A and B are shown apart, each in its own frame.
Chain A
């Protein structure tokens, strides 16, 4: 018997790996997507993502829908910040038909969109906490998300999939209750956010867990065309609100927080800081909005429903009412791209119209789809726990990923 047979250690290439199916239903995947991981103990050797579990063919659906009816589809993209998706779509159509909106409406949109951004970041950051095992911070900060949802509810009647606003403005003016709810939120939220920050930001275990976990370099982020907080965490100050202002964002004074090495902690901190910035934007907008003004939509009669009294007494109003309700509004032919800074990155709508009542083709640039392409590369060689944290800190939402 030769020595080779006794106590021979496995060579690296002879290693036996385990396959672990992370998902489609796993408590840590926020939505339904699967990762087939090749594991060496706790270390991930290879990851292969599977997507499409909740693909609902939104882009195809949009081709058969009148413009107003595409809005509910956009709700279901990133359902943590539906209002931003809704208003991004409205602005795209407005760009196509060349509608100009009054400042008041644009500021009202800014208020709602920044509230949505705060809600989105609340979910992402608190879930990072949950995935590190800190449940309490999650429950503390979630009360504030409820308050934001109360505001949505007062504006449009819905909480999660809001379908808020219309092409050309809002469906109705903000009531006094809405203004008072927003005032309360702006007044009280700093307390809640500070409490949450105190729980996690300087927590030794939390920092150990998140610093250097799932880092994304600037080069990699740019190559994968990352946007939003994930790109800013890598240290690149790109923000659609500043680079390509829409809805009067140029009127507001705010800073773009950036990170240094794009790890989970940086992404967390960038989002934390963005919540403060959003709050400041809301304050600025509130200062400049005339609350008593009756203007809540622009002069876009072919998309904004006229008052009922008008409909009963006025020929044109009756015609527009009929055309809007039946979805028969004709839109000029054209090609337009419009993007907004969504909750987790640049959400773009590329719309081609060949005239008629429905889009000819609509493509949605969904940031989650792009982040998820980079996910296997980011988690390669890291531990399982880090992979989970990376996923939650990139805020990959299955609804937006699969569309």
Chain B
């Protein structure tokens, strides 16, 4: 049971290390999803939002990590 818990914890840890980074990525994807399904935005604007959002999240997370 402990081993199973360890494997599950390790698997979750693959994706979530810094909670803020993970939540920001999900927020970017969520915004893209809303753009497609609620506002019916173009595929180009969705792609642009996705790329710029991910780049922005990475830059903010690295600079914040450096300041900590």
A is bound by B: no
